[in-house]
Copies of this chain bind each other. A is one copy, B any other.
């Protein structure tokens, strides 16, 4: 049986819709009263795990799920040992540097040397400033990163931006894009190579569903 790790949050609805189009129904996860973390497809041919987005690659890397759906941002930040198969096209957003609109900074290199940058994406942020040869202190946060510049703790943030509403509401502006992100299909490398449990067929079906414009 194939097990798929699905991410809680913004990518869940489109992930479930995509799997439905190839015959796997995990829509029970969309029920707001759902407390189950793993469910069987009604046909009994596939299982899904509902986990935090950052945990999807963990379950896939350790082989508890042969497939997973997760944002490219998580793959860039965590660098998990998984096979990266397919861009699924949905869940578009970008990892960006943002600063107070009232600040004089309009690109990363305008930031003061030895300034502070708050981020949930510590590795991506560090790489970005290292490539620019600009020494900054990365302040790791778990949530509400926009409070960094508002409270004066940091000059900038590196955070995911989709609509830009949160930045705007907090008087921040985006000054540089590190990379664009979308949802990706990942696989356990060994399961993928062995094509066990009909994995190759499922992957081919997902590929076709994504490439067929009729879906959207």
**Given A64-B153, A152-B64, residue A140 in contact with residue B58 (CB < 8 A):** yes
Q: How far is the CA of A8 from the CA of B144 in the complex (A)?
A: 11
- A179 interface residue per 8 A CB criterion: no
Complex contact B141–A52 (CB within 8 A) = yes
Complex contact B38–A142 (CB within 8 A) = no
Chain B residues near A51: list those with CB within 8 A.
141, 143-144, 147
Complex contact A143–B59 (CB within 8 A) = no
Complex contact A52–B153 (CB within 8 A) = no
Complex contact A153–B62 (CB within 8 A) = yes
- A54 interface residue per 8 A CB criterion: yes
**Residues 125-157 of chain A, each 1 if its beta carbon lies under 8 Å from chain B, else 0:** 000000000000001111110110011110000
**Residues 151-190 of chain A, each 1 if its beta carbon lies under 8 Å from chain B, else 0:** 1110000000000000001000000000000000000000
Q: How far is the CA of A142 from the CA of B143 in the complex (A)?
A: 13
Choose among B8, B62, B151 the residue that contacts A38 (Cβ–Cβ < 8 A): B151
Chain B residues near A55: list those with CB within 8 A.
141-144
Report the nearest B residue to A143, measured CB to CB: B52
- A49 interface residue per 8 A CB criterion: yes
Report the nearest B residue to A170, measured CB to CB: B37
Complex contact B37–A141 (CB within 8 A) = no
Choose among B52, B58, B116, B153 the residue that contacts A59 (Cβ–Cβ < 8 A): B153
Report the nearest B residue to A35, measured CB to CB: B169
Chain B residues near A38: list those with CB within 8 A.
147, 150-151
Cβ-closest 7 pairs across A and B: A52-B143, A52-B142, A64-B151, A64-B153, A54-B142, A62-B153, A55-B141
A residues whose Cβ falls under 8 Å from a Cβ of B: 8, 35, 37-38, 49-52, 54-55, 58-59, 62, 64, 116, 139-144, 146-147, 150-153, 169
